[in-house]
């Protein structure tokens, strides 16, 4: 045993001696060059190539590192043995990650690649303007040389896309609103946000199922339509106008849309925006995959229908040379377009021109996959230029509660299934009076909430209220369906006034406008 230790000690002594000699004979520069050469020789004969994706790229955070981490989290959770678990701020989900110095095989387009998570201690002597983490983290991607050209770019694009999907799924969606008086927050953002947790979905929304399905299909087509929009040269955005009496579910519909698509909502308070350029800046700071909402647009600014009330031409764009003529021609010919911001006249008000630019000017395309939703109780008050296709692609009339909608409410609030819990006779009675009662889903849901523990009582009370309301409306001489028709008629009238004018008409309009301007001056 003693001999064994003696020989081991002499081997170590020889080893230390050789190392000292080597260090003296081969200076660090020479050793580095040799290592480099060996590495090159190894690379020549190796059939793999390696890509390093470090967490911090110089001084900036490497977006690709975060994307890879998220991307791998989905496959790691299934195959990995040793995983790291995290939960990000504003997130409702746990994220799996590859443990330090662990590796995983991934397959893309039939090609196998290997990811390794490399963690090393950072050299503490390194100087940096900003504090860096103690550990140096990165991923090493190993791909066969012959596969590199085939997949690398597509694979990285795919990872980025997948990662943003996962991020959106994991993170709570946000509801943004523009800050009071156009002020910026500590990070220079004009929007303030809170987690968006509205429970409204298309399942809970009481409306005609066919109409509902049509809207859902339209939204789905939009969300999956990147290729189509690109091919047709259209900006990837869509506008919806929700109109109808108060309490018919316009705001609930917006929440359902956001929940359906998984988009954030930007609730734009127009009264807090001072001018067109501020409006444009707000738009620039919105993200893709979002719904930009302007509620009660008829109340926010003076956008009333110029055709119905000529005086409003000047009240909405008084003194604005370009803005006035732009909106004037917009509604008529739809050809002449003023420059962005051309409608800013007194510096502290938004003009119709500014709003039109906001929805479909060049700036509206500074992001992609965005939905604009305007709501109003009075569609007839809106300027036709706002209503035309391309701006508001789909006009959705939210009407008083119909029988179909009532069945959804009864199911959601009382758990009543048609033909099981609901008496056929009572249903018939309800059907007879519901049209004439002209009650909104909001009114009905109040009655149902109050009696939610007693189904029969709820239905009886509803029937009573329906009868009283129907009688009252009948006495006032207001028809049931007539009312819906009247509202749709109003929309038609509004749209008719958007139909192309003859050139002479436009000239007349302009003459009138300039005469009125003269008078005001
Ligand atoms: N179609 C509907 N389906 C389900 N619930 C509805 C519907 N309409 C209204 N409600 C209920 O009534 C409440 C008010 O509805 P909501 O705020 O969506 O109406 P609105 O049309 O936006 O009204 P307003 O024009 O006054 O803004 C909601 O909280 C919701 O519970
Ligand atoms: Mg509302």
Q: Tell which wins on pLDDT, 314 or 63.
A: 63
Pocket test for ligand 1, best of 249, 294, 298 (most atoms within 8 A of CB): 249
Cβ(410) to ligand 1 under 6 A? no
Residue-wise burial string across 6-24, b where 16 or more C-beta atoms lie within 10 A, e elsewhere: eeeeeeeeeeeeeeeeeee
Of residues 373 and 342, the one with the higher pLDDT is: 373
Confidence band for 166, pLDDT divided at 50, 70 and 90 = confident
If you measure from the C-alpha of residue 410 to the centroid of ligand 1, how many angstroms do you get, rounded to a whole number?
A: 15
The answer to whether residues 117 and 199 touch, using CB atoms and an 8 Å cutoff, is no
| Pairing mode, strands 264-267 and 174-178 | parallel
Phi, psi for residue 344 in degrees, rounded to 5: -75, 110
pLDDT greater than 70 at residue 187: no
Position 504 confidence tier, pLDDT thresholds 50, 70, 90: very low
pLDDT, residue 446, reads 94
Q: Is there a contact between 470 and 429 (Cβ–Cβ < 8 Å)?
A: no
As a whole number of angstroms, the distance between CA 213 and CA 215 comes to: 5
Mean pLDDT of 475-486: 55
Question: How confident is the model over 454-483, as a mean pLDDT?
Answer: 80
For 55, residues 6+ apart whose C-beta sits below 8 A from its C-beta are 61, 62, 65, 133, 136, 137, 138
Does residue 250's CB lie within 6 angstroms of at least one atom of ligand 1? yes
Q: How confident is the model at residue 221 (pLDDT cuts 50, 70, 90)?
A: very high
3-state secondary structure of 248: coil
Across the chain, what does the average pLDDT equal? 77
User: Which whole number is the average pLDDT over 261-270?
Assistant: 92
User: Is the pLDDT score of 430 beyond 80?
Assistant: yes
> Average of pLDDT values for 298-306?
63
Least trusted range by pLDDT, from 118-132, 153-167, 315-329, 347-361: 315-329
Q: Which atom of ligand 1 is nearest to the CA of 412?
A: 4
Q: 329 falls in which pLDDT band (50, 70, 90)?
A: very low
pLDDT tops 80 at residue 222:
yes
Cross-strand bridge partners of residue 108: 111
Provide the pLDDT for residue 434.
92
In the predicted model, is pLDDT for residue 237 greater than 80?
A: yes
Residue range 86-113, pLDDT digits in tens: 776 666 667 777 788 888 888 888 888 9
CB of 159 within 6 A of ligand 1: the answer is no
Whether the predicted model's global pTM rises above the 0.90 cut: no
Does ligand 1 lie within 6 Å of residue 246's CB atom? yes
What's the pLDDT score for residue 474?
81
- Of the listed ligands, the closest to the CA of 405 is 1
DSSP state of 272: G
Beta strands in 196-345 (DSSP E): 237-243, 264-267, 290-294
Cβ(438) – ligand 1 distance below 6 Å:
no
Q: What is the complex's ipTM, to 2 decimals?
A: 0.98
Token readout for 236 is 């990837």
| Lowest-pLDDT choice from 130-134, 253-257, 263-267 | 130-134
Name the residue of 211, 241, 252 to mutate for ligand 1: max ligand atoms within 8 A of Cβ: 252
pLDDT recorded at residue 501 = 38
Alpha carbon nearest to ligand 1 atom 27, residue? 246
Percent of the chain with pLDDT over 90: 27
CB-ligand 1 contact for 441 (6 Å cutoff): yes
> Among 93, 95, 134, 142, which residue's Cα sits nearest to residue 117?
142
Indicate whether 218 pLDDT > 90.
yes
Atom of ligand 1 nearest to the CA of 295: 27
The CA distance from 223 to 262, in Å, is 10
Give the residue, by CA position, lying nearest to ligand 1 atom 24: 246
Q: How far apart are CA 470 and CA 478, in angstroms?
A: 9
Average pLDDT for 457-470: 92
- For ligand 1, pick from 201, 212, 251 the residue to mutate: most ligand atoms within 8 Å of CB: 251
Residue 262 has pLDDT above 80, yes or no: yes
pLDDT digits (tens, 9 = 90+) for 192-203: 888 888 999 999
Mean pLDDT of 352-377: 81
Residue 423 has pLDDT above 50, yes or no: yes
Report the percent of the chain where pLDDT is more than 70: 73
């Amino acid at each position: 045993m003693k001999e064994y230790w003696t020989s081991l000690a002499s081997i170590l002594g020889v080893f230390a001696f050789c190392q000292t000699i080597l260090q003296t004979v081969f200076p660090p520069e020479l050793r580095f060059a040799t290592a480099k050469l060996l590495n090159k020789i190894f690379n020549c004969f190796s059939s793999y190539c390696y890509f390093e994706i470090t967490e911090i790229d110089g001084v900036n955070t490497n977006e690709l590192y975060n994307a890879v981490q998220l991307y791998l989290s989905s496959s790691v959770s299934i195959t990995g043995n040793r995983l790291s678990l995290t939960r990000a701020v504003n997130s409702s989900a746990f994220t799996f990650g590859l443990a330090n110095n662990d590796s995983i095989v991934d397959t893309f387009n039939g090609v196998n690649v290997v990811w390794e998570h490399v963690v090393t201690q950072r050299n503490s002597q390194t100087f940096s303007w900003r504090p860096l983490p103690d550990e140096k983290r990165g991923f090493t991607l190993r791909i066969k040389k012959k596969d590199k050209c085939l997949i690398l770019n597509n694979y990285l694009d795919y990872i980025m896309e997948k990662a943003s999907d996962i991020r959106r799924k994991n993170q709570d969606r946000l509801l943004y609103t523009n800050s009071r008086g156009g002020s910026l927050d500590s990070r220079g953002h004009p929007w303030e946000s809170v987690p968006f947790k509205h429970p409204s979905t298309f399942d809970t929304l009481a409306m005609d199922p066919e109409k509902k399905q049509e809207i859902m299909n339209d939204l789905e087509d939009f969300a999956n339509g990147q290729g189509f929009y690109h091919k047709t040269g259209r900006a990837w955005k869509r506008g919806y106008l929700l109109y109808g009496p108060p309490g018919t579910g316009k705001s609930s519909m917006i929440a359902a849309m956001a929940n359906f698509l998984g988009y954030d909502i930007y609730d734009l308070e127009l009264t807090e925006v001072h001018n067109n350029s501020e409006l444009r800046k707000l738009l620039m700071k919105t993200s893709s995959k979002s719904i930009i909402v302007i509620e009660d647009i008829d109340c926010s600014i003076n956008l009333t229908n110029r055709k119905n009330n000529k005086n409003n031409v000047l009240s909405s764009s008084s003194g604005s040379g370009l803005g006035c003529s732009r909106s004037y021609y917009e509604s008529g010919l739809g050809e002449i377009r003023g420059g962005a911001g051309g409608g800013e006249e007194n510096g502290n008000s938004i003009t119709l021109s500014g709003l039109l630019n906001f929805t479909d000017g060049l700036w509206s395309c500074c992001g992609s996959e965005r939905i604009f939703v305007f709501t109003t109780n009075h569609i007839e008050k809106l300027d036709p230029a706002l209503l035309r296709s391309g701006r508001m692609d789909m006009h959705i009339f939210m009407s008083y509660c119909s029988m179909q909608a009532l069945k959804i409410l009864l199911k959601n609030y009382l758990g009543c299934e048609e033909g099981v819990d609901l008496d056929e006779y009572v249903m018939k009675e309800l059907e007879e009076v519901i049209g004439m009662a002209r009650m909104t889903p909001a009114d009905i849901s109040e009655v149902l909430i109050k009696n939610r523990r007693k189904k029969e009582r709820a239905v009886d009370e509803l029937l009573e209220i329906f009868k009283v309301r129907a009688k009252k409306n009948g006495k006032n001489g207001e028809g049931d369906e007539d009312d819906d028709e009247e509202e749709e008629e109003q929309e038609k009238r509004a749209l008719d006034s958007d139909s192309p004018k003859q050139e002479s008409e436009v000239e007349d309009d302009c003459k009138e406008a300039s005469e009125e301007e003269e008078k005001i001056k």
